[in-house]
Structures are given as structure tokens and as C-alpha cells.
Amino acid sequence: MNTDLTQTTHLNDDVTIAMSERIARIKARMAQACARAGRTPDEVTLLPVSKTFDDQAIRRAVSLGYKRFGENRTQEIAQKTPLLADCEIQWVVIGQLQTNKAKEVARLAHELQSLDRMELAEALDRRLQLEGRSIDVLVQVKTSPEETKAGLDPVELIPFLKKLSGFQTLRVRGLMTMAILSEDQAAVRRCFAQLRQLRDQARQEGIVGIELDRLSMGMSGDFELAIEEGSTEIRVGSAIFGARDYTA
């Protein structure tokens, strides 16, 4: 990933420089986690999560070489897309998605990381066919015991993947999860290890048309554990952009 401040849109102000420094610190921690796990840093991608941040904040990240941005809500994507039309951004939906939002995803998103039920897959397929598009998807699996966490029940994963193989508009690339929010690192690590094990089991099934090369797991507070357990992409927001203002 190119982090040269002379590239792209040249937003060389103090805020951009501070963002570059924060990203550098994150990348250093990523590299250290990779070293502990016997992996190379290029095996793990950093996905900036831009939810609640404005178009200028995203432009600064674009100037640092980033094109893919994670968002929770399709409404925010719809608002930001025209403001950033010149940036060739690829929007990644990472939040829990209502079926009635399939139209916006089919029209605006490059990728969905929170596919967790057949009703949603069918709605997306219908809308994508109308748009003449296909998108990458990750299946979200619930590995945390918390009721607030979304995702497919692990025992349903392989049957679900087999059904997804019939949708030509949905390119299944891997799995996603959110770990338990806990100070107990062993409990957090188990969530990530379970997703990796589920991926390995699903691969053994050899489902035609299903690629499971990617594991999206790990956020600001736990991404080092996720990397040690096999994550290929971490989702980081405020550690890149700064504190969120949820009152805006």
C-alpha cells in the first residue's frame, strides 16, 4: 500500500500528516503480529472504516493510497458517493444489512462482508441482476456468545455456502467475524481461531465456485490477536481517522 504523501491528491496538511503517522503505527503493529505468527506483512490488508467521517477525511486517506473503505450504513455510502465521485472509491459494506437495503448495495457497493442469511442473498441476487453487476461477498459467522453480535450460526456455514454457489452475482471470497468484547484475550482469540477452523473445514468440502482465501477479522482493539490467528484483513476506523463524533 502506497503511503507516500506526494502521491494522488496531495493533501499535505497537518491533519493528513497526522493520519499518515497513525497509519504507520498501525502498520508497525501489524508487522510485529505477523512476525510473531511466522507470516509476512503483505498477507494482511488494512481496511479503513470511514463510517461517520466526512468526505474530506476520506480524501486524506485516498491521498495516502487507500481506495477501499468500510461503511456500516448504505445511507452514508449514498451520501458520500457523489462527493467523492472523482476518487474511484470501492465501498465495502461491513455492517448488518436489512434486506430492504439490497438495492443500495447492488447499486453502490463493491463488496459486502456481512452476508449472513439466504433471504439477503436472494434479494441481492435479484437486484444485482437488474443492475447487471456482481460483487464480492464474505459470509459473516457468529463466533461470539454475545447476543448483540450478528452472523450465521457456525453449524449452518457449509450448507449456506453450498447454496451460495448457485448465485452467479455473488462472488464468495471468504468469511468475516467480530470477536467477543472482552479483556480476556484467550476468549477473543478463540473467536478468531474458530473462524479459521471453519474456513479450513469448508475448504475440505471443495464447493465449486466458492473461494475462501480471505478472513476479515480484527478491529482496533484486537487486530493483533486476529492476525496471529490468520486474519487477512483488519477493519480499523478511529485509530486511523481520529475520534468519532456520533452526535453529528
The Cα 145–Cα 219 span in angstroms is 18
Query: What confidence score (pLDDT) does residue 152 get?
Result: 97
Query: What confidence score (pLDDT) does residue 247 get?
Result: 64
Query: What confidence score (pLDDT) does residue 10 get?
Result: 46
Alpha helices in the chain (DSSP H): 14-36, 55-63, 74-80, 102-108, 118-131, 157-164, 185-205, 223-228, 238-241
Report the CATH number of the 43-56+70-241 domain: 3.20.20.10
* All three cell numbers of 147: 447476543
Query: What confidence score (pLDDT) does residue 7 get?
Result: 40
Query: What confidence score (pLDDT) does residue 243 get?
Result: 80
Query: What confidence score (pLDDT) does residue 2 get?
Result: 41
Query: What confidence score (pLDDT) does residue 246 get?
Result: 66
- Return the half-sphere exposure (C-beta side, CA atoms, 13 A cut-off) of residue 177: 33
Q: Count CB-CB contacts under 10 A for residue 84.
A: 17
* All three cell numbers of 56: 474530506
Query: What confidence score (pLDDT) does residue 12 get?
Result: 63
- pTM to 2 decimal places: 0.92
With helix as H, strand as E and coil as C, how does 117-162 read?
CHHHHHHHHHHHHHHCCCEEEEEEECCCCCCCCCCECHHHHHHHHH
Reading the chain (248 residues) residue by residue, the pLDDT tens digits are: 344 333 444 456 899 999 999 999 999 999 999 999 999 999 999 999 999 999 999 999 999 999 999 999 999 999 999 999 999 999 999 999 999 999 999 999 999 999 999 999 999 999 999 999 999 999 999 999 999 999 999 999 999 999 999 999 999 999 999 999 999 999 999 999 999 999 999 999 999 889 999 999 999 999 999 999 999 999 999 999 988 776 65
**What kind and span of H or E run contains 71?**
strand 68-71
Query: What confidence score (pLDDT) does residue 231 get?
Result: 98
CA quadruple 62, 64, 67, 72: dihedral positive or negative?
negative
Burial zone of 97 (CB within 10 Å; 0-12 exposed, 13-18 middle, 19+ buried): buried
Query: What confidence score (pLDDT) does residue 40 get?
Result: 97
